[in-house]
Structure 1
Amino acid sequence: MYLYLNGDIVPAEQATISPFDHGYLYGLGVFETFRTYDGHPFLIRDHLERLRSGLKELNIATDLDEEKVIGTVRELLIKNGLKDAYCRFNVSGGQGEIGLRTDPYEKPTVILFQKGLPASAPLKEKEGVFLNLRRNTPETGERLKSHHYLNNIAAKREIGPSPDKEGIFLTGEGYLCEGITSNLFWIKDGTLYTPTVETGLLNGITRRFILALSDQLKLPAETGAFREDCLLEADEVFFTNSVQEIIPVNRIGNRDYPGRRGGYTRLLHHQYTKYTSRLHSIDEL
């Protein structure tokens, strides 16, 4: 497999970074994960906008020209013999002296990884599990998709390695927040609900897309601060992320849900798949 590293496409086993990279020493970096569908990087503009925002917060300067990034994604797809792929675009501060730095980072480390994914797959259900571990508060005003992942890793260790389970974070105050690697939605009496960004969740690109889809479909949607009971009383529940798309929930605790049979879940997934091979941005919806 090949990857992109600081301007070059190289075999993965030959890729190296400095041990003095501040992404390694201090976790100073952000990343985006997105999918390509038949070679098309879905919602790439939104992913790049969020990446730019995170880099600005971390004082890391880099060129993220959309056309250049798309060209690199497609060049790497050809090199790897892929059309449908998981992509991770990773930018860290780059090499520096040991010690906390206040000056801008002007020579970041930029990496693009890929791995193959099936072109299409049936909706895969998961069980939701309330976590004992609480969601940590963001390091800055809004949660970044950063290298600081210990809270997520500790949560995954709590529920175990099963791919059929997703943990559900509560905030320190006991409000619903998000999944370990996903955002959380539910349907009750024909209305779509999801926690507000003020809970400290990562404002996922797929989360934003689902809210935009609900508006297009005239499906009422509410964001806010909600307790566990709201989820346990829901008619349908699902998670979202950019790689797994929409993930129906079939069980939380002793409560069963319709999972992939849920009418609203199926409707949203059907609409979602209509756009994956052509949209660059949610604004194009």
Structure 2
Amino acid sequence: MKVYLNGHIVDGASAQISIFDHGFMYGLGVFETFRIYEGHPFLLDDHFQRLQKSLHQLGIAWSYDKKKVCATLDTLLCANGIKDAYVRWNVSAGVGPLGLHIGDYEEPTTIVYMKPIPSFMPTEKQAVLLQTRRNSPEGKQRLKSHHYMNNILGKRELGQNNGDEGIFLTKEGYIAEGIVSNVFWVKDDILYTPSLETGILDGITRQFIFALAKKENVHVVEGCFFEDALLEADEMFITNSIQEIVKITMYNGKSFSFYGGITEKLQKQYEDGKTKLWSKGELG
């Protein structure tokens, strides 16, 4: 794998960062994962506007330059010999003194990882309830940051079955999100999903689903819901930027049917936009 590291394309096996990088030492870093379809980085503007906002909250100097970002991605695609890719764009605080630092970081470390998309990506999964509870965000709102221990504990509880997704509840017992996904369900032609008040990540695909639902005249309700809402649902699906929209065929013994339903309508709209859209705003 060829990666981008602070302005250079290098072999991943030989790439190095300082042991004093505060992204490594204290978790001060955020990232975006997204897909490139036939050379097009889907929803790039939405991803990088969130990245820039998150870095600003952490006091890390970085600004989105779309032209430079696209040039970097094109160079990395060429170096890896691919046109369709999984991308992780990672920005950490950079080198700092030993000890907690309260000032701004002016020289962040930027790493861009890229790999081919697997030939098979599941469009259906089963989901189970995790005993591990979703932790609270470190700040006012959850960032897509280096703090991943809660997700790792959930993944270890789930085990090696990649055909399943684990669903977190909050400490209050509200439905939160999947280990690496946002959760949606349908009841009586209304689309439901947990609100940000539960401490979930405001996923870029989550936001895109809201825009698609509006285009399809589907009413969306965000809120705090107990697990019974999933067990009474007509449809259930999860989303993230790599797996897209994944149907949940069964959750804790409850099976779901999708033929002609809202999930399939959203999947069709998603498919139509992924080789051309830069932002959800382009849906009008």
- TM-score of the two chains, using structure 1 as the length reference: 0.97
Secondary structure at the aligned position of 1:266 is classed as helix
Q: Work out the percentage of aligned pairs sharing the same amino acid.
A: 53
Deviations, residues 146-201 of structure 1 (Å, cap 9, x unaligned): 00000000011111111011111111111111101000000111111111011100
Mapped to 1, the partners of 2:206 and 2:160 lie a distance apart of 24
CA distance in 2, matches of 1:250, 1:160: 19
Letter in 2 for 1:11: D
Aligned match for 2:281, one of 264, 280, 283: 283
1:88 matches 2:88: yes
What is the CA RMSD across the aligned residues, in angstroms? Answer: 1.3
Question: How far 1:123 moved relative to its partner?
Answer: 5.3
Shift of residue 96, structure 1, vs aligned partner: 1.2
Residue 272 of structure 2 is matched in structure 1 by 274
CA contact (8 A) 2:32 2:144 kept: yes
Q: Structure 1 residues 9, 67: closer, same or farther in 2, change over 3 A?
A: same
Q: What is the CA–CA distance in structure 1 between the aligned matches of 2:197 and 2:110, rounded to whole Å?
A: 30
- Tell me the distance in 2 between the aligned counterparts of 1:68 and 1:281: 18
Tell me the SS of whatever aligns to 1:251: strand
Residues of 1 paired with 2:254 and 2:129: CA distance? 12
Q: Which residue of 2 aligns with 1:148?
A: 147
Deviation at 1:258, TM superposition (A): 2.4
Q: Which amino acid is the alignment partner of residue 156 of structure 2?
A: R
The 5-angstrom pairing of residues 15-34 of structure 1 reads 15-34=15-34
Aligned to 2:190: 191
5 Å matches for 1:27-106? 27-106=27-106
> Secondary structure at 1:177's aligned position in 2?
strand
Aligned position for 1:224? 223
8 Å CA contact retained: 1:125, 1:247: yes
Structure 1: runs of 5 or more not aligned: none
CA contact (8 A) 1:236 1:262 kept: no
Shift of the alpha carbon at 1:213?
A: 0.2
Equivalent position amino acid for 1:53 in 2: K
Does the 8 Å CA contact 1:168/1:177 hold for their aligned counterparts?
yes
Extract unaligned runs of 5+ from structure 2: none
Amino acid at match of 1:47: H
Deviations 1:67-103 (A, max 9, x none): 1111111111111111110000000011111100011
2:269 is paired with a residue whose SS is: helix
**What CA deviation, in whole Å up to 9, does each residue of 1:37-67 have, x standing for no partner?**
0000000101001101110111000232111
Query: Is the 2:49–2:64 contact (alpha carbons within 8 Å) kept by the matching residues of 1?
Result: no
Give SS of 2:233's match: coil
Paired AA for residue 242 in structure 2: V
* AA aligned opposite 1:275: G
Alpha-carbon contact 2:3-2:11 (below 8 Å) kept: yes
TM-score, normalised with respect to structure 2: 0.97
Query: CA offsets per residue over residues 109-161 of structure 1, 9 Å max, x none?
Result: 00000010158x67521111111111100000000000000000001111111
Structure-2 separation of matches of 1:26 and 1:167:
27
Tell me what 1:160 maps to.
Answer: 159
